[in-house]
Amino acid sequence: MKLILTREVTGLGLAGDIVEVADGYGRNYLVPRGAAITWSKGAEKQVSQIKRAQDARQIRDLGHAREIKTELEKLTVTLPARAGSGGKLFGSITAADVVSAVKSAGGPLLDKKRVQLPGHIKTTGSHTVTVDLHPDVVATVPVTVTATS
């Protein structure tokens, strides 16, 4: 069975790769879990979109990771969220919220899978979020959660 991977599968390939797998593995495991789509000429056009999005978020090398780290640590990231009395949020801050706040603060486009939250952020105030940019480079980003009405 010919499939196009939509995300990285250990031992098989990266997102956008066209792979040949056993029918049962593809039909019963990869496709239902959203890790792959069946190959067709139309679906092959999606491969270029997947790879383009992946390249936009990818860190090229150690030097590039260090550049992004210094850029991230200079930012002042403010995240408005609905909060009740006492600064307790209605819900919690997610990695996707942090990624969009970094982008709106003028920072680089990050992959939300690389953002590590310090537990659940459920209160207003200052929090420190880490971003794994490279196996050797970890950036710390100060995030300030403010209350909105």
Kindly list the structural domains of the chain, giving each domain's residue range(s) and its CATH number in brackets, ordered by start. Answer: 2-57 (3.40.5.10), 62-148 (3.10.430.100)
Return the exposure string of 69-83: e unless at least 16 CB atoms fall within 10 Å of the residue's CB, then b: beebeebebebebeb
In this predicted structure, the answer to whether residue 61 has a pLDDT above a threshold of 80 is: no
Beta bridge partners of 38: 3
Q: How wide is the angle at C-alpha 97 spanned by C-alphas 55 and 73, nearest 5°?
A: 70
Q: What pLDDT is recorded for position 129?
A: 93
pLDDT in tens, 93-121: 999 999 999 999 988 888 888 899 988 89
Q: What pLDDT is recorded for position 109?
A: 85
Residue type at 31 in one-letter notation? V
In this predicted structure, the answer to whether residue 48 has a pLDDT above a threshold of 80 is: no
The residue that leads in pLDDT, 43 or 78, is 78
Q: What pLDDT is recorded for position 86?
A: 87
Cβ contacts of residue 89 below 8 Å, gap of 6+?
Answer: 81, 82, 83, 121, 122, 123, 124, 145
The residue that leads in pLDDT, 117 or 8, is 117
| C-alpha pair distances (Å), 113 with each of 57, 58, 96 | 11, 12, 9
pTM: 0.62
